């Protein structure tokens, strides 16, 4: 009866799908175009290897734009968050998918969905009110200057990416056919052995996609990290494999991009181009991880 609507709806869906691709390409082109003034004027080697970000130096000194400190801070915060969120999230996903039954399973899934729906700024406020004081008191013997540290931002970010890890890992585990679980149990494997030797190995690509998407989510988080990281420029750890640098204030790509400096730098072409260059780095990182995770998912489905 409504067959005449089939073609228009099909074309509308096609247009919506392609428009998202065109939009992503347009964003990349715009960011790259805005960063163009930096290419001939700024030493890219210095940009990636220096931690000195000094847009307003003393008279007679040149401005300096080095992104290394921001990049290191970004990966430090992200690494902490994944070290916490991945084991906890994977364990929760295994329990929900393989062991929980009835109302307990539904309740846990609802709680995870509620965690995913909490706005970032609320997480940031909770970090200010609770987490940074806990971190400061817990590591008081290291004499941190405040609770606004890279570690605080990493722990807060772990809570934020946890729903992503749990949801996607649960989907990956549930994609393993139930017949294989029943066959393993029939051969004498316990439920735990079935999870360890059947479900997890067969879901490994989906679990890898979950990890990559969680990494992209962590890299792109702005407001919550901005509120608790301390936002200290020109900072590189003196000891790379030590706890002390994580108990100091730092800066990430997103906290720099989310600061008022983006408005201040708009009036200076070189300063603005350097800031847009940071956005370009972040865009390439998150976009690449998303594409890689999608490839993992497709291989898993195959």
- The CB density around residue 235, as the number of other CB atoms within 10 Å, is 20
**Which residues 6+ apart lie within 8 Å of 68 measured at CB?**
48, 49, 50, 51, 236
User: What distance in Å separates the CA atoms of residue 118 and residue 249, rounded to the nearest whole number?
Assistant: 25
Q: What is the pLDDT of residue 227?
A: 92
User: What digits encode the pLDDT tens for the residues 78-131?
Assistant: 999 999 999 999 999 999 988 888 888 888 888 888 888 889 999 999 999 999
User: What distance in Å separates the CA atoms of residue 185 and residue 168, rounded to the nearest whole number?
Assistant: 25
DSSP class of 35: H
Q: What is the pLDDT of residue 21?
A: 83
**pLDDT < 70 positions in the chain:** 1-4, 38-39, 41-42, 238, 240, 296-302
Q: Which fold has domain 64-301?
A: MetI-like fold (1.10.3720)
Q: What are all long-range contacts of 109-114, with beta carbons under 8 Å and residues at least 24 apart?
A: 109/170, 112/162, 112/163, 112/166, 112/167, 113/163, 113/167
pTM, two decimals, is 0.85
Structure tokens given for 188: 């004498």
User: What distance in Å separates the CA atoms of residue 123 and residue 215, rounded to the nearest whole number?
Assistant: 18
User: What distance in Å separates the CA atoms of residue 157 and residue 217, rounded to the nearest whole number?
Assistant: 9
Q: What is the pLDDT of residue 298?
A: 60
Q: Provide the Cα torsion 247, 248, 253, 254; round to 10°.
A: 70
CB 157 within 8 A of CB 80: yes
> What is the pLDDT of the chain when averaged over all its residues?
85
Q: What is the pLDDT of residue 41?
A: 67
């Amino acid at each position: 009866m409504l067959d005449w609507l089939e073609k228009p709806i099909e074309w509308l869906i096609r247009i919506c799908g392609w428009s998202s691709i065109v939009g992503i390409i347009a964003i990349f082109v715009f960011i790259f175009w805005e960063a163009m003034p930096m290419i001939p004027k700024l030493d890219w080697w210095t940009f990636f290897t220096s931690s000195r970000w000094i847009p307003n130096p003393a008279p007679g000194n040149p401005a300096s734009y080095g992104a290394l400190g921001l990049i290191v801070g970004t990966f430090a915060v992200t690494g902490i968050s994944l070290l916490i969120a991945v084991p906890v999230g994977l364990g929760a996903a295994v329990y929900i998918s393989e062991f929980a039954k009835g109302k307990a399973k539904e309740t846990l899934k609802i709680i995870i969905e509620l965690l995913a729906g909490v706005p970032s700024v609320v997480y940031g406020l909770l970090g200010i009110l609770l987490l940074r004081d806990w971190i400061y008191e817990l590591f008081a013997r290291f004499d941190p200057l405040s609770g606004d540290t890279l570690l605080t931002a990493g722990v807060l970010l772990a809570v934020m990416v946890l729903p992503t890890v749990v949801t996607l890992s649960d989907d990956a585990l549930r994609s393993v056919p139930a017949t294989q679980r029943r066959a393993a149990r029939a051969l004498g494997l316990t439920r735990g052995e079935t999870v360890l030797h059947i479900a997890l190995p067969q879901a490994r690509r989906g679990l890898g996609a979950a990890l990559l998407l969680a990494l992209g989510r962590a890299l792109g988080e702005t407001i919550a990290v901005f509120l608790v990281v301390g936002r200290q420029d020109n900072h590189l750890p003196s000891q790379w494999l030590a706890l002390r640098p994580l108990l100091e204030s730092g800066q990430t790509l997103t906290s720099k991009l989310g600061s008022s400096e983006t408005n201040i730098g708009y009036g200076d072409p070189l300063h603005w181009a350097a800031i847009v260059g940071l956005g370009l780095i972040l865009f390439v990182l998150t976009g690449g991880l998303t594409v890689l995770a999608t490839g993992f998912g497709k291989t898993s489905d195959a």
